[in-house]
A and B are shown apart, each in its own frame.
Chain A
């Protein structure tokens, strides 16, 4: 049951350099792989309600690149992530690099593995940083964005008449 698994992801730091993210799904590994790597499907889950993906490029082959860009509905602020695929084993494993474009020195090596048992697929992402400071900065980024979401909601609450962003306000 979907509802039973809501909020069940386990996120932990491991050693000084890694973050491990684990979550199980009631779906076959092949379908999990498809939803993880198909742009039209990625757009439905990767961004946030108020920060949808405006770019979702996936060149799913070894040496191929990927790039996701979110844009905040209210501020128009865009944030981009990109990387390259190092290993691809459909339905089983993807090794890829990832960097936040505002902080390219903080590149990580991400290893996604899928393990299916009795129709339940456990997805594990190990994010390997090059320094502890970068690892900790990524953990901290969640709090910054979380706070920003809270502030955005608060701003909308206190200024109900604020106009939606227009194209004229977009960055060149």
Chain B
């Protein structure tokens, strides 16, 4: 299966650690680019580029407020990532529930 381009795939967009950092800052609330730059060890052009990628995959929304542009996290776009991790979690939960059942059996038999 070929990899989707960074600009069309949420998973690839968040594969870049700096973009996860940007999302982490935005998780605290809506902010202008200057605040994101201040919170991270990145230049404004770098942050702007990451924001552009994140907007393309709909992970970040943007609105104008006076002369500022404010960026915010679009939570629902992260859902595929959440489902992807929760499937692995469900698999291990099932396995460890069965393990629990084996332990209970062993203890009943003393």
Residues of A whose CB lies within 8 Å of any CB of B are: 2, 5-9, 11, 13, 16, 19, 21, 23, 25-27, 31-32, 34-36, 41, 44-46, 48, 123, 132, 136, 138-143, 145-147
B residues 2-31 in Cβ contact with A at 8 Å: 11, 15, 17
- The distance from the CB of A58 to the nearest CB of chain B, in whole angstroms, is 15
Pick the most buried of A11, A32, A46, A145: most chain B CB atoms within 10 A of its CB.
Answer: A11
23 A-B pairs (CB sep. < 8 Å): A5-B97, A7-B93, A7-B97, A9-B96, A13-B85, A21-B96, A25-B99, A25-B100, A25-B103, A27-B103, A27-B104, A27-B106, A34-B106, A35-B103, A41-B106, A45-B96, A46-B95, A48-B94, A132-B15, A142-B84, A142-B88, A145-B87, A147-B87
CA distance A13 to B89 in the complex (A): 11
CA distance A44 to B92 in the complex (A): 14
- A35 in contact with B99 (CB, 8 Å): yes
Q: Which residue of B lies closest to A28 (CB)?
A: B107
CA distance A7 to B34 in the complex (A): 43
Contact of B107 among A11, A27, A45 (CB under 8 A): A27
Number of interface residues of B (CB under 8 A): 26
Contact of B100 among A5, A34, A41, A140 (CB under 8 A): A5
- B95 in contact with A143 (CB, 8 Å): no
CA distance A8 to B90 in the complex (A): 10
- A11 in contact with B88 (CB, 8 Å): yes
- B88 in contact with A143 (CB, 8 Å): yes
Q: Which residue of B lies closest to A48 (CB)?
A: B94
- B88 in contact with A141 (CB, 8 Å): yes
Chain B residues with CB under 8 Å of A143's CB are: 83-84, 87-88
Given contacts A9-B96, A23-B96, A143-B84, contact A44 B89 (CB under 8 A): no
Chain B residues with CB under 8 Å of A142's CB are: 84, 87-92
Chain A residues with CB under 8 Å of B102's CB are: 35, 41, 44-45
Q: Which residue of B lies closest to A145 (CB)?
A: B91
CA distance A147 to B99 in the complex (A): 23
Chain B residues with CB under 8 Å of A136's CB are: 11, 15
Contact of A45 among B11, B85, B87, B99 (CB under 8 A): B99
CA distance A23 to B101 in the complex (A): 13
- The distance from the CB of A149 to the nearest CB of chain B, in whole angstroms, is 9
